[in-house]
Structure 1
Amino acid sequence: MSHIQVRLSQDPAPKGWSEKGPLSFDQQGAHIHIGHLDSSDALRAIRKAARMLDSTGVAKAALSDSWSFEQQWAFASSFSSPKKQDAVQWADDGNSERLQQHFDALRFTRNLINRSPEDISPEVLAEEASNWLRQLGGERVQTRVTKGEALKEAGWIGIYEVGRGSERPPVLLEVDYNPTGDDKAPVATALVGKGITFDSGGYSIKGSEGMLSMKCDMGGAATVTGAMGLAIMQGLNKRVKLFLCCAENLISGHAYKLGDILTYKNGVTVEVVNTDAEGRLVLADGLMAAGESGARTIIDAATLTGAAMVAVGTEYNALFGLDKELQQQILGYAQQEAEPTWPLPLERWHQDNCPSPYADTANSRPMKGGGAGGASNAAGFLSRFVPNDGKGWAHIDLASAFNSSATSLMPAGASGQGIRTIARALLEN
């Protein structure tokens, strides 16, 4: 099937087209009318036109004439969909190789998130991430898997408890990318990803509508893996470690329960008041493992709270940090990479916002959504498990990770938003 030619135009849309949006057609192909919009509004118009073009049934598009890198990226990431991949031919300029690297990372991330939860068990998630990074990094990549009862023996109690209700064992994956060849080389950055391959909510069970899209709850794991792969393709020359906290949150006679008290490796005790607040329980282990690596910077990413979506919507990711300088750096990277990101409050006192009469803290508040400030309180919980009083640590709540249905700007399914920001942090920090 041939590609339709798609051009950018500074001219207004012809009469009869303008009221339909920024897209028009003629004998030469399709035209996206961006006029004299500023950069961010032009990218938004391109995304909207790409979705409109997809809705007409166009299968393939060739980008003609003069497009910037960001304009091509905006079109490709919005035009592509779970059923239509590799459907864009880049403009004939010097950006093609870099664009393809970005798109390969995006495609890996999206496809992993969009897969059926029956296909992606905790072990398969770890295996898929390991295999892809080995393909990119070769002998520079080493992996270690701890799973099932071995997690309990090693003290990774959060991943073990959340995942023990499933017949498919939970997994902690560690990936060591070390291009230096020196086993004693310091770790520049450690990435931590929430890898809940399916989230029923456990005994705090979700309704069917809320559970339908919960294959996406491993979006954090897929995003940090995609980011690491992108950075490797871009020439990452520093040692980086990746920790994926993988489990299925299911109900069974062996599942963890409300009222259980978990004792973590660092001595913190946690009362479970909501089994659907499981992401922070598994991330706690990953953050401690990242701390043990001695990494100068730790970044975690997770589809952690509905409260973040309420706060920033579904076009932004939410960013938290006790280290305000690092937080500002990552916000700068996000802006440079055209990935909308917004800071939400986090102070040390947020650690105390989920009190328990039986343990050092509860894993939430015993109310719907964790109550007011739920995203900040979740970040406060995580801050109990990072080294150096939070210096060098940032937490990304991936509010924009997944769309249950197509929007005017993005296709249905995983967005992949966040991989570019995190990859930039790996290269810069």
Structure 2
Amino acid sequence: MSRRQHTLRTPVETRGIGLHSGEETRVRITPSPPNHGIEFVRTDIEDAPSVPASIEHQSPKDRRTRLIRGDVEVETVEHFLAAAKALGVDNLRVEMTGSEFPGIDGSALPFLDLLESGGLVEQRAEAKVLRLDEPIFVRDGNATLVALPTDKDCLTLQYVASFEEPGVDSGSYQFDITPETFRKEIAPARTFCLASEVEALQAMGLGKGATRENTVVLGDPDTKLRMKGEPVRHKMLDLLGDLSLLGSDLVAHVIATRSGHSTNAELVRRLLTIVKEKENAGLLQRDSGMDIRRILEQLPHRYPFLLIDRVIEVEGFSRAVGIKNVTINEPFFQGHFPQMPLMPGVLQLEAMAQLAGMLLLRKLEFSGKLAVLWSMDKVKLRGGVTPGDQLRLEVETVRIKGETIKVKGSGSVAGRPVCEADFMFTMIEA
């Protein structure tokens, strides 16, 4: 399975009340370049950093999906993300005037229509795809999630529900996720709660924007369903939205039993570990990757001070992942130390700074400039890096203000953190 990335042809807008906050939020969705991903921007907060739709920014919250970056948060984004994932829309800038995404009718159907109204454009970059080749299992009390390898070239979702409310039918549904199947079988399903939960949820300050039209109350004789098994189908909708936080298409058969947002997130974190392992091995590269020839074209550094061997992922100018393969032939090992070779911590930081410089040069107005490092903060060296290690470096743009940029970086070896720091750069003429 392989496909090209997609974005919108033209911007689209909507507005609505948040299901939990009861507050109105206006949303404007615009196209983004290849490998940029989906990012949320709070336009009601001055100089707010964008919040990527990534499991690394997911934060637990009752009955909804919340993303946090620094002091900025967005929540109840799962219905929109499910629609984008079903359509194969990879790169979007989503501007919001409040913290909670509009609930509209409580389903994903309005967002499906909204995205399609803007038109979809195929981009040159290939989408990243994870084809599962071993089972992954998550359990939390009575809730379980199993992701299995599959012979199909798509994601298959199966949900087994068991509602304890008297008179509420449970059931099991299974669908191969395609745009057509999602629109017909899953997208129209509205959010729900049990009749026995209503008072407790209201006491918690939840559901301020809930109405009879956008929320199904199970166990209430006045409730009318849109479709058979609507609550079970909505659980599948939430699951797809949460799986989108992986940042990769998933080819697997996922079986969920009484699963919710917390177990969904744990499964995505375990899948992300597999994604990173495959990236490090060069088995999961996208067009965003850069080999050493492209690195030499962008960076002025040369032997023995070029400390990036490969860039395996770039998201616009907001995030990059690179690799430094550490060998005993490195000149610094001759004196640091002959009997116990260790990569100096300052060189680990230098490697992160070089990767950050490459990331910042992707911003159009910085073309032809140099990223000069002028301060480091919150530096931590957590473990040794020795010959034979593969140092995985990640950098993320935190704030851009004129010619001054703050970048957060970290390094790891085989999943073990070894270094981290906050960098400040100034862009100067080359």
TM range (shorter): under 0.3
Rg comparison, structure with higher value: 2
Task: Provide the TM-score with structure 2 as the length reference.
Answer: 0.26
Structure with the higher strand share, 1 or 2:
2
Structure with the higher helix share, 1 or 2:
1
